[in-house]
A and B are shown apart, each in its own frame.
Chain A
Amino acid sequence: MSYEVNGQTVEHDEEGYITNLNDWSKELAEVIAKQEEVEMTDEHWAVVNFLRDYYEEYQIAPAVRVLIKAIKKQLGPEIGNNKYMYELFPYGPAKQACKIAGLPKPTGCV
């Protein structure tokens, strides 16, 4: 189970989350997004970049509420809301956006 990026092989788990978080690159994000049928726009990148920054600080993905609050601050309430996040990432900003951002899948009753 792996992605191919620029001739490199990047391992992922059964659901497409990369196994080694250091393997992530912007090119890889595009590859994962394509597989997820998500076309990356600036707004998608704003979410992905926020997730990566947050993860670097806290070693976990943020709660959806925290993500929305941050995006709202950055891009305004038209984009920073729950409905729009699901339009950007139909399988959920927590799980699908994390996959594209190269973060582990949130586990538990979520």
Chain B
Amino acid sequence: MAPLDDSAKKKPAEMMDVRGPDGDPLEIPKFACESMRESEPYPAYPEHNLKLGFPGELIDNWQEVAIAKIGELAKKNRAFQVYLDACVKCGACTDKCHYFLGSGDPKNMPVARQDLLRSVYRRYYTFAGKYFPWLVGARDLTKEVLDEWYAYYHQCSQCRRCSVFCPYGIDTAEISMAAREIMDSIGIGQKYCNEIIGKVKDVGNNLGLQEKALAATLEGLEEDIEDDTGVSVRIPLDEKGADILLVTPSADFFAEPHIEGLIGYAKVFHQAGVSWTLSSYASEAANFGLFIGSYENMRDVSLRIRKAAEDLGVKRIIFGECGHAWRVAYSFLNTLAGPFDFLDQNYPIPQHILEFTWNEIQKGTLKLDKSRNDHIRLTYHDSCNVARASRMGDKPGGQFEIPRNVLKAVCNHYYDMDRDTIMESTVCCGGGGGLLTDEIMDLRVKGAGPRMKALKQVTDDFGVTHMAAICAICKTQFSKVMPKYGYGMDSILSVHQLVSNAIILDGQEDGEDAAPQGDAAAAEANQ
């Protein structure tokens, strides 16, 4: 590798040399054929599958059922059939997947990933494939093919970056969701996703966090805020008659830096003077039904939110920092669980917490001291489902602008990463789409490579120490993989954590000498 840029200022000690010769975070790797064939997540146990309405294990006539399912999906979903028929192998997508860029395995090129299913579709549903399979790359659905599906359709985080560059608009995420749906329908489920969806059905959230534990956690956080600021800030649970229901990923009750974000939401609501509540019944924004392409499961999870909103009698629903939850909420909530005619129609249904916070900043209700984040030199990772599958605010591109507007309002030192790796071209964190599970850590580390290279650039060029995100998966993924690239695990921050640091609450005692939370060690580690 070529030496690093001489102008590198604050090179973290022992940082892995991840940049290519041209410093290009999207550098195309050498082929490493089949190098990721062995990467597979644990299969679901029978009880996980059964709870979701799928066969417990691989059924005897799986081949017949899977082929029928492909036909059913193609008939029911015109987009899916177009995606299977329309590809002309132009190659525009080949270097757009972070898992390909990170692993070099050509089966992680989006077109190759699509072809795993397309080749089978051709064999059974096209004239040429039925009679001249060898001419059109059509394949029988064998056990080997099924096993290959299981491996490589669990190496797609459904981030849709490739679809931005496809001249036909083919969306690999849809194909990967369909493949998982087909596999579930014959009894081949993935443990991580299916076990979690089962927990939502039983307990109301991905963690399996019951009401008593949730209430105790929130009470502890109220104490912490009061200790830090001297101000009593409530985090209400199951309060009937509140105006706003906040639905947030359960990771916000459990993990770091997620919890710091929850504290930020609470401070913003407090300062805005609105009444709000969390729900123990709908204590999860995430909806893993999306990842496995299951409309029924996605609907079941969404209906919990509707029920909670009705039972609590709220007027508005706001979603916390969760990437794919916002996709489901923004794009599908109304069709899955609507109509929401019982909510106040003067507000967006649903609304994103960042839309709320940005409105309050514009109204001037939040007193912000940006210098409280002066120990941080910040960049922002656009989470894929927010960036490419939804929007915020009332203008195109609001999902890119609003988070940056908020960050720049609370932080003096903000720098964007390479334009080809942000906004609509953002590279995935490497853990999305149901892949945030430890047995495929090698894939996760490799998939994070392009993002880490882009981060390294702004560290070299501008001394960036931290990265913020608005997705629970991104935050957990980065806290696990950043140490492999020389960054501290707390170099990843919640956007509302930075808001929380900067807010001065009415009546706050400490003035300027309060220590901002949680990240001083990482800042030091990166000097």
Mark contacts of B271-288 with chain A using CB atoms, 8 A cut-off: 1 yes-contact digit, 0 otherwise.
000000000000000100
B217-263 CB contacts (< 8 Å) to partner A: 217, 220, 224, 249-251, 253-256, 258-259
- Measured CA separation A58–B224 after assembly (Å): 20
Q: Kindly state whether residue A14 has any CB partner on chain B within 8 Å.
A: yes
B438→A59 contact, CB < 8 A: no
A58→B216 contact, CB < 8 A: yes
Q: Kindly state whether residue A106 has any CB partner on chain B within 8 Å.
A: yes
By beta carbon, the residue of chain B nearest A108 is B206
A64→B210 contact, CB < 8 A: no
- Measured CA separation A63–B476 after assembly (Å): 14
Instruction: Please indicate the chain B residues that have their CB under 8 angstroms from the CB of A108 in the complex.
Output: 196, 199, 205-207, 249-251, 254, 286, 472
B213→A60 contact, CB < 8 A: yes
B213→A58 contact, CB < 8 A: yes
Number of interface residues of B (CB under 8 A): 38
By beta carbon, the residue of chain B nearest A54 is B213
Main secondary structure of the interface of B (DSSP, over half): helix
Indicate whether A66 sits within 8 Å of B255 (C-beta atoms), given known contacts A60-B207, A107-B199, A109-B473. Answer: no
Q: Kindly state whether residue B209 has any CB partner on chain A within 8 Å.
A: yes
Q: Kindly state whether residue B89 has any CB partner on chain A within 8 Å.
A: no
B212→A58 contact, CB < 8 A: yes
- Measured CA separation A24–B255 after assembly (Å): 25
By beta carbon, the residue of chain B nearest A13 is B42
Number of interface residues of A (CB under 8 A): 23
Q: Kindly state whether residue A69 has any CB partner on chain B within 8 Å.
A: yes
A65→B256 contact, CB < 8 A: yes
A64→B250 contact, CB < 8 A: no
B249→A109 contact, CB < 8 A: yes
- Measured CA separation A64–B450 after assembly (Å): 29
Mark contacts of B470-488 with chain A using CB atoms, 8 A cut-off: 1 yes-contact digit, 0 otherwise.
0011011000000000000
Instruction: Please indicate the chain A residues that have their CB under 8 angstroms from the CB of B27 in the complex.
Output: none
By beta carbon, the residue of chain B nearest A91 is B438
A107→B216 contact, CB < 8 A: no
Instruction: Please indicate the chain A residues that have their CB under 8 angstroms from the CB of B255 in the complex.
Output: 63-64, 94, 109-110
Q: Kindly state whether residue B195 has any CB partner on chain A within 8 Å.
A: yes
By beta carbon, the residue of chain A nearest B217 is A63
Indicate whether A66 sits within 8 Å of B256 (C-beta atoms), given known contacts A83-B521, A109-B476. Answer: no
A14→B195 contact, CB < 8 A: no
Mark contacts of B410-445 with chain A using CB atoms, 8 A cut-off: 1 yes-contact digit, 0 otherwise.
000000000000000000000000001011000000
- Measured CA separation A59–B203 after assembly (Å): 11
Closest CB in chain A relative to B487 CB, distance in Å: 15
- Measured CA separation A104–B192 after assembly (Å): 14
Instruction: Please indicate the chain B residues that have their CB under 8 angstroms from the CB of A82 in the complex.
Output: 256, 490, 521
B196→A66 contact, CB < 8 A: no
Instruction: Please indicate the chain A residues that have their CB under 8 angstroms from the CB of B251 in the complex.
Output: 108-110
By beta carbon, the residue of chain A nearest B477 is A109
B42→A109 contact, CB < 8 A: no
- Measured CA separation A57–B212 after assembly (Å): 9
Q: Kindly state whether residue B208 has any CB partner on chain A within 8 Å.
A: yes
Mark contacts of B131-148 with chain A using CB atoms, 8 A cut-off: 1 yes-contact digit, 0 otherwise.
000000000000000000
- Measured CA separation A66–B222 after assembly (Å): 12
- Name the contact of B208 in the complex, choosing from A57, A64, A65, A107 (C-beta under 8 A): A107
B290-325 CB contacts (< 8 Å) to partner A: 322
Instruction: Please indicate the chain A residues that have their CB under 8 angstroms from the CB of B490 in the complex.
Output: 82
13 A-B contacts, Cβ less than 8 Å apart?
Answer: A15-B438, A63-B255, A65-B259, A82-B490, A94-B254, A104-B208, A106-B254, A107-B196, A107-B207, A109-B206, A109-B250, A109-B251, A110-B254
A-B contact sample (11 more), CB < 8 A, given A66-B217, A110-B251: A58-B212, A63-B217, A63-B255, A63-B259, A64-B255, A66-B220, A69-B224, A94-B254, A109-B206, A110-B258, A110-B472
